[in-house]
A and B are shown apart, each in its own frame.
Chain A
């Protein structure tokens, strides 16, 4: 039986976190839970501790990339076989974890990514976000030589090789897209898995309309630079 760690990066998620942990406990009890409290200013750490899960508190806000990498470091230090990245805002569903794990456990993939877009009609993003999603999807598909539909999905499962890879280096500001490119260039296999996701239960998305243009330019630039890196 593989030892599984569920990494929940959390920045000011006191409202949604208890529900997320409850969901995991009832629908996926096989995994240990780690909350990486990314320098939250609310009671995220206390709420997580009240639930009795492991909590790693960063002394200041590192951003999602630094927080997730902390989780991978923990997974490696404790010798976990698989690490699952799971959002603290309630949009991911614990019931989908077994499906996400399947390609990793079967040894087909080093990283499984849960995609909202493989089941048609399940999620309808706003217009501008839809364009952005399509651009990323096309660029990434060309780069990786495989079809990727949900490049910004933070619902992922990594095996030991991918954990070790991310422990050594993980992109910082908007890491989801970039980490796929890096992992692919590191010779690891990625597979997308169809999953459904919920609307957020609390907090606010970090991506506002104004920021999304900046987001797109920055990520595309970073991805192209990654290709040129040694």
Chain B
């Protein structure tokens, strides 16, 4: 049982440290670190406090308290991936708009340029 506790504490503490360090170095934006930090904190608190873990396990009817940690970790991962899917959807839309905008701008630049030179620069566009 103690080994489970040690693994759980080390795991969640490492997660927190890694995420924190990535934010500090600018590898991860704060906006995308919040869910990770929140998950890490909850898991760390539950790993440290045997009483709280057992109390919540009893409430939801889990017989082996450490499996509550697995359940929560799994739920957090689901939440985070869903969040990423939403973020990717938003980025895809913005990416498309940017591509369209660039294409249209480039066309009007070509048009203006060929008008300036009397329509002779069509080929070099």
Co-assembled chains A and B: yes
Q: Give me the interface of A with B, judged by CB distance under 8 Å.
A: 36, 49, 52, 54-60, 62, 66, 69-70, 73-74, 77, 172
For the residues of B in contact with A, the DSSP-based class is: helix
B104 touches A74 (CB 8 A): yes
Interface size of B in residues (CB-CB distance below 8 Å): 12
Q: What's the minimum C-beta distance from B106 to chain A, rounded to whole angstroms?
A: 7
17 A-B pairs with CB atoms under 8 Å apart are A36-B103, A49-B122, A54-B107, A54-B111, A56-B103, A57-B103, A57-B107, A58-B99, A58-B100, A59-B102, A59-B103, A60-B99, A66-B96, A69-B100, A70-B103, A73-B100, A172-B96
Contact with A along B97-118 (1 / 0, CB 8 A): 0011011101100010000000
Q: Considering the chains assembled together, what is the distance between the CA atoms of A172 and B102 in angstroms? A: 18
Q: What's the minimum C-beta distance from B104 to chain A, rounded to whole angstroms?
A: 6
Q: Considering the chains assembled together, what is the distance between the CA atoms of A172 and B89 in angstroms? A: 12
Residues A49 and B104 in contact in the complex (CB < 8 Å), given A60-B99, A66-B99: no
Give the nearest-CB partner of B111 in chain A.
A54
Most buried by A among B96, B102, B103, B111: B103
Q: Give me 14 other A-B pairs in contact (C-beta within 8 A), A59-B103, A74-B107 excluded.
A: A52-B122, A54-B107, A55-B107, A56-B106, A57-B107, A59-B99, A62-B96, A62-B100, A66-B96, A66-B99, A70-B100, A70-B104, A77-B104, A172-B96
Residue B2 is within 8 A (CB to CB) of chain A in the complex: no
Give the nearest-CB partner of B119 in chain A.
A52
Q: What's the minimum C-beta distance from A195 to chain B, rounded to whole angstroms?
A: 28
Residue B4 is within 8 A (CB to CB) of chain A in the complex: no
Q: What's the minimum C-beta distance from A107 to chain B, rounded to whole angstroms?
A: 29
Contact with A along B31-44 (1 / 0, CB 8 A): 00000000000000
B107 touches A56 (CB 8 A): yes
Q: Considering the chains assembled together, what is the distance between the CA atoms of A62 and B93 in angstroms? A: 11
Q: Considering the chains assembled together, what is the distance between the CA atoms of A70 and B105 in angstroms? A: 11
Q: Considering the chains assembled together, what is the distance between the CA atoms of A76 and B12 in angstroms? A: 54
Residues A66 and B100 in contact in the complex (CB < 8 Å), given A49-B122, A49-B123, A49-B125: yes
